[in-house]
Amino acid sequence: MRFVIVTGMSGAGKSTVLKFFEDMNFFCVDNLPPALIPKFAELCFEQGSEIERVAMGIDIRGGKLFKDLFATLSNLQESGYDMEILFLDASDTTLIKRYKETRRSHPLSKGGSIEEGIRKEREILQDVKKKATYIIDTSNILVRELKEQINHIFVENKNFESLIITVCSFGFKYGIPIDSDLVFDVRFLPNPFYIQELKELTGNDSPVSDYVMSFDESKIFLDKLTDMVKFLIPQYIKEGKNQLVISIGCTGGKHRSVTLANALYNVLKEEGHSILIKHNDIEKDSRHKK
């Protein structure tokens, strides 16, 4: 029996995730009042029940009853019920943007500011978040990437790391990505831009990546960068960090940075980390020329 409670910040993607669970043949229930959870859990766990996998969505719409959730969950676990809590989070800036795009009001704003509603919700949810089995920050991931994360945990049953790593290539002439945690400059490497047959290609093309990685400097840099990131990852996880953005930049964000970003991504992916790849500026030179 797998019993998953899906909760978290309003606007962080709970409804979307519940749809993923439905696609995975979970029995899904949305916004059941916390006071009714014990009886529902008893029915699901009783011997002979045909329900094998349950995903239950609970959010702040439960009003005052939601405040009883933490105590309810603790009582259930003390009673021997094995359940997991998936907590969906996102930055305040992301949540505000999503509310404005959908023109919805926050459940706790009561006609006031969205920011105030988010602040109140974080206060109410802080105990539940501490109790969470999994925390996924949806601020910088696409819907398909979120689905991959859910599938990774609940279908493939792989070990979960609360830290989602994004390796990002960029061009310094377009600016450093504002969400960067770690920034590395690879402009010291030989530039394929000045080789005619490589100029219009990118680091996603083998001739460019082979050229960049043919130099000892590139190989040494990748080895040292990989060693440092591998050391940092468990430290960030221990600290409770949910998102790590590693940005690698060259002049235009098309050749060297793309090559090294791809190389780091491949190494960390083989290690089994939750990781995404982004190439911010790979097409910008081409668009400017048209």
* Other Cβ atoms within 10 Å of 254 Cβ, number: 28
Return the CATH number at 110: 3.40.50.300
Q: Identify the pLDDT of residue 64.
A: 57
Same-domain pairing of 146 and 45: yes
Residue at 281 is within a domain = yes
Give the distance from CA 252 to its chain's centroid.
27
> What is the rounded CA–CA span in Å between residue 158 and residue 236?
20
Residue at 159 is within a domain = no
> Cβ neighbours of residue 217 under 8 Å, at least 6 residues apart?
188, 189
- Amino acid at position 270, single letter: E
| Listed residues 125, 154, 183: the one ending a domain | 154
Q: What is the DSSP string of 116-172?
A: HHHHHHHHHHHHHHHH-SEEEE-TT--HHHHHHHHHHHHTS-PPP-SPEEEEEEEEG
| Listed residues 96, 127, 154: the one ending a domain | 154
Residue at 173 is within a domain = yes
Same-domain pairing of 235 and 283: yes
Same-domain pairing of 122 and 209: no
Q: Identify the pLDDT of residue 289.
A: 43
| Listed residues 130, 154, 178: the one ending a domain | 154
Q: Identify the pLDDT of residue 28.
A: 93
Q: Identify the pLDDT of residue 100.
A: 86
Please give the torsion angle defined by the CA atoms of residues 136, 140, 142 and 148, in that order, rounded to the nearest 10 degrees.
-30
Same-domain pairing of 114 and 185: no
> What is the rounded CA–CA span in Å between residue 32 and residue 194?
62
Q: Identify the pLDDT of residue 158.
A: 62
Residue 12's domain comprises 2-154
pLDDT along the chain (290 residues), means of 10: 90 94 92 80 79 86 63 77 89 90 80 84 86 86 85 75 85 94 97 94 96 97 96 85 90 97 94 87 65
Based on the structure, what is the number of domains in the chain? 2
Q: Identify the pLDDT of residue 237.
A: 80
Same-domain pairing of 168 and 263: yes
Residue at 237 is within a domain = yes
Residue at 194 is within a domain = yes
Q: Identify the pLDDT of residue 182.
A: 96
